[in-house]
Structure 1
Amino acid sequence: MGDPPAGNELAELYATHARGLHHYLAARVGSEIADDLVADAFLAFWEHRDRYDPSRAGTKTWLYGIATNLLRNHVRTEERRLRAWRRHGMRPAGADDVSGRVAEAVDATVLAEELSGALAALKPADRDVLLLTAWADLTPTEIATVLGMSASTVRVRLHRTRTRLGIHLRTREGRTDDA
């Protein structure tokens, strides 16, 4: 393994990657939560810097992997909390359905309204592949490292997801042709 980054190197990494990482996360869960997730990602990077191996992945890839895992944990925790509230007949003030809020964030920041439903309906791994490509500008190899799958699996998932979304859009437009 290479030498772990020193404190000033961490500041440089933050200056280089924090804005893009925040943009990616904010598009998924909103700006306030993204603020916390970015901070947590850099903290995790720092705390586990001795495990960083630059021969396996670049720092951007490692950071997006950390952030994606934190995002997944956040969404799972929030979904469990909302299901528990629903089971007990409780509804916190201002709480909306998680998928509705995700769809709204996607609508407002990146995708047209008719695409957000299709995006929300994707399997989480397929959605991660698509959004890491589109919003984080990671390569299939980098995404494979982030998600712990092969680059060929990433390419197949990306192709299938794009095809499904294209079919969804054509169907919504009332077209079923391949034009």
Structure 2
Amino acid sequence: MGRVSQAQAQENRQRVVATAARLFREKGTNVSVADVMNAAGLTHGGFYKQFASKDALVGEATARAFAELEGRRTQEVEAHGGQYNAGRQALIDWYLSPEHRDDAADGCPTAGLAVDMARDAEGSAAHRVYADGVGEFAEWLAGEGEDGLVCLATMVGALLLARGTHGSPLSDKILHAAHEAVSQSG
């Protein structure tokens, strides 16, 4: 089998990071390297040519997931004529929706990675990236005179509880109650 070009190697690396970002949000960071590589359509043996360790991949995948969330925030504001408040409300509407609850793989890394980051080493690259991402998201959510941390904690807590009670009527009630609370406060 021949060598891959630098461009192909970079494309493969980005595919692995994107795949890992989805899998880690959906299933947790305990997903094996072999499973990530398989899902990316690549061989397990190529992993260590691209990454120093699984921890390095977790850090990059976490950064990518937060970059995707930032892109969504920007997209919502742009879709509402550059009006922050309308874009913020649209993001809240998405965040506390059954669709987001049911799509952890493409969902918010704040909720999707919370449990894993709580178990992660405090000084790890992924832990730092996660903490920075949570802080930036809370700052973005802060409306006039509002505490973005309270809004974010309400949204993330509600999403986690709604996912945990999925399939019961309580799940939708949790999303609705949190949506009412954060929409009234903004």
TM-score by length of 2: 0.34
